[in-house]
Amino acid sequence: MRLRLLVTAAAAVGLLAAPAALASADPEIAGLQVALRSKGLYFGTIDGVAGPMTAKGLRTFQRLTRLPVTGTLSARTRAELGALGRPLVARRVLSQGAYGWDVSSLQFLLARAGHLRLIDVDGHFGASTKAALVRFQRSRGLTVDGVAGSATLTAFGHGRRTPVLTRATAARVSYVVRPGDTLTAIAAKHRTTVRALASTNKLKSVNLVVEGATLRLPGGGVSGPAAELGRSTVRAHIDRWAAHYGIPVSLARALAWQESGFQTNVTSSVGAWGPMQVIPDTWAFVETVLLGRSVPRTGEGGVEVGMALLNHLLKRFNGDQRLALAAWYQGEKAVRERGFYDETKVFVANVLALTNRPL
């Protein structure tokens, strides 16, 4: 992962800032700030904003450790940061006692949701973090266990707006279940679906996978990423499928831009893939329920699935774009039962604002 820090003019966020003030900040930047603070190189608020103090701290750290002073957060720089520089978010299940970059990011997400104080964001998963996580899980109708797995991270919406380039992987036909694995995470990693994994392995329950078990991967696994398409090509696919479903082109383009920047070969930390950043289970829902056929895992296929889903949500909410976008982000059931989450409000506002820009 390489992350370019951009100096912003954002105002500093107070120690007890309202969650709305943190909604557009990046939890990965918060992780960097915690790591730099542990080295005595950052003294500002853990606000998730890549401002001047964060950029200066990173460059100073690179100079002191004799790394290239690029202001770019690379894997090598994170390794030099030590235990607080790894692992990235969604690489493991987090529970009390954990320590690292991903814990800092989780704590920042909890603070952004209003369940933890910013001064408690320190990379240590202690009792206060567990209590905050329990409150968050209860507020979202999740399993209340104080453990941050894929379902909890997905509920935060983390990773959907920060895609990471997918790299080619060697073709595999099987996978050995590791500690902390879930079927959802395994399916996302190998670009397949929970339904397909369960069917291939004749699993009686999709909620239980045994550590050490060998799972067969549907279709022999993934041999590599789909071909990368240029933005003009992606834009043409968006326009075509938007017209097919009668969706305003401005809305379709804005949503795709918000999710991926018109990139095709990107996968988020929660397994969302393609220009519309669709997670595997949602892709399976569109194929089996909305379309009744398979859709190829290509750039255009990703657009088609995304437009079919957006069309479905617009119909479910009688054409209300705000409600449809909210359901896209946090799920239809959650929108109807709980209203908009704070981070959903920001997502919807961003997409609607983009509809007024030439993309």
CATH 1.20.200.10 fits 3-156, yes or no: no
Could you tell me the pTM of the whole model?
A: 0.47
- CATH: 3.10.350.10, 3.80.30.20, 2.40.50.140, 3.40.50.10860. Which one for 174-220? 3.10.350.10
Mean pLDDT score, 291-302 = 86
Higher pLDDT, 157 or 252: 252
Identity at 8, one-letter amino acid code: T
CATH code: domain 231-354 is 1.10.530.10
Query: How confident is the model over 262-286, as pLDDT tens digits?
Result: 877 666 656 677 889 888 878 888 8
Mean pLDDT score, 85-89 = 82
Mean pLDDT score, 321-343 = 89
Query: How confident is the model over 165-222, as pLDDT tens digits?
Result: 233 333 345 677 777 777 777 776 666 677 777 777 777 666 666 777 777 766 443 3
Q: What is the per-residue pLDDT for 333?
A: 85
Q: HSE on the CB side for 183, CA within 13 Å?
A: 22
Q: What is the per-residue pLDDT for 232?
A: 85
Residues 225, 166 contacting (CB under 8 angstroms): yes
Q: What is the per-residue pLDDT for 248?
A: 95
Q: What is the per-residue pLDDT for 42?
A: 92
User: Please, what is the Cα angle at 17 between 335 and 83, to 5 degrees?
Assistant: 90
List all residues 6 or more positions away from 205 whose beta carbon is below 8 Å from its beta carbon: none
Most confident of 2-6, 317-321, 338-342: 317-321
pLDDT over 50 at 291, yes or no: yes
When pLDDT is cut at 50, 70 and 90, the band that residue 8 belongs to is very low
pLDDT over 90 at 252, yes or no: yes
Query: How confident is the model over 102-111, as pLDDT tens digits?
Result: 999 999 999 9
Domain ranges in the chain? 3-156, 174-220, 231-354
The whole-chain average pLDDT of the chain stands at 79
Q: Count the Cβ atoms, other than its own, within 10 Å of residue 87.
A: 12
DSSP letters, 62-118, are HHHTT----SEE-HHHHHHHGGGG-PPTTSS-B-TT-BSHHHHHHHHHHHHTTSS-G
